[in-house]
Amino acid sequence: MRKTEVQMTLKKGVEEGARGVAPPSPRIPSKRAKVNLDQVVPETGDLVYPSPTPPVFIRKMRNAAVGIGCDIRLKVAVAGDPQPTLYWYRNDDLLDMDNQEYGGLWIRDCKPSDAGLYTCIANNHLGEARSSAVLAVLDLGEAATCVPEAPPPQASSSACP
């Protein structure tokens, strides 16, 4: 009689398995979700937002040299919350930033008067950060053409017509 009960149990398990549901085992407890306190999903009222931070340069400006008539872009990357406002200066003179993208300063058709100390100031209500670099404008001669250097990461890019 015991043999018959075993066969019935096996047969019943196979039938339930065919439907995609395994039979419960009397010896193995059901799985329980393990939840750490760190994994608890906060309620909508408990959402934590990142705290505001002062500006910090992730990519600072680098010194660069460019030929007369060439274009160059001085680049920076800044983090901060709220997003910092960027101010660009050449030799302590504030530059007009119309038609410039955030984090970059294009200097087109470089002239010797464009040479100097460039400074980017990032500012938000929590503070300010500065990054400076020297730009040299070189006379390469009439026959010379501007050739962009292979810039290392974080370097300024230059191009010529």
32 and 60 fall within a common domain: no
Q: Are residues 28 and 95 in the same domain?
A: no
Which residues span the domain enclosing 96?
Answer: 53-159
93-94 sheet: strands from edge to edge: 64-67, 127-138, 116-124, 85-90, 93-94
Task: Assess whether 7 and 59 both reside in one domain.
Answer: no
pLDDT on residue 17: 47
Both 108 and 35 in a single domain? no
User: 110 and 147, same structural domain?
Assistant: yes
Give the count of domains, the chain: 2
Which tokens in the block code for residue 103? 């984090």
Indicate the pLDDT class of residue 154, thresholds 50, 70 and 90.
very low
Which of 10-14, 21-25, 117-121 tops mean pLDDT?
117-121
- Among 14-18, 54-58, 91-95, 141-145, the minimum mean pLDDT is found in 14-18
Please determine, for residue 86, whether its predicted confidence score (pLDDT) is greater than 80: yes
Q: Does 145 have pLDDT greater than 70?
A: no
pLDDT average, residue stretch 64-85: 97
Cβ within 8 Å of residue 77, ≥6 positions away: 57, 58, 59, 103
Contact 123, 54 (CB under 8 A): no
Q: What is the pLDDT of residues 17-54, one digit of tens each?
A: 455 566 666 666 666 656 565 555 555 555 566 789 99
Do 86 and 23 share a structural domain? no
Whether residues 26 and 90 share a domain: the answer is no
**Are 40 and 104 in the same domain?**
no
The C-alpha atoms of residue 99 and residue 102 are separated, in whole angstroms, by: 10
67 and 99 housed in the same domain? yes
Domain boundary among 30, 46, 62: 46
Are residues 76 and 99 located together in one domain of the fold? yes
Q: What is the CATH number of the domain that holds 106?
A: 2.60.40.10
Do 25 and 60 have their domain in common? Answer: no
Task: Clarify whether residues 34 and 64 are in a common domain.
Answer: no
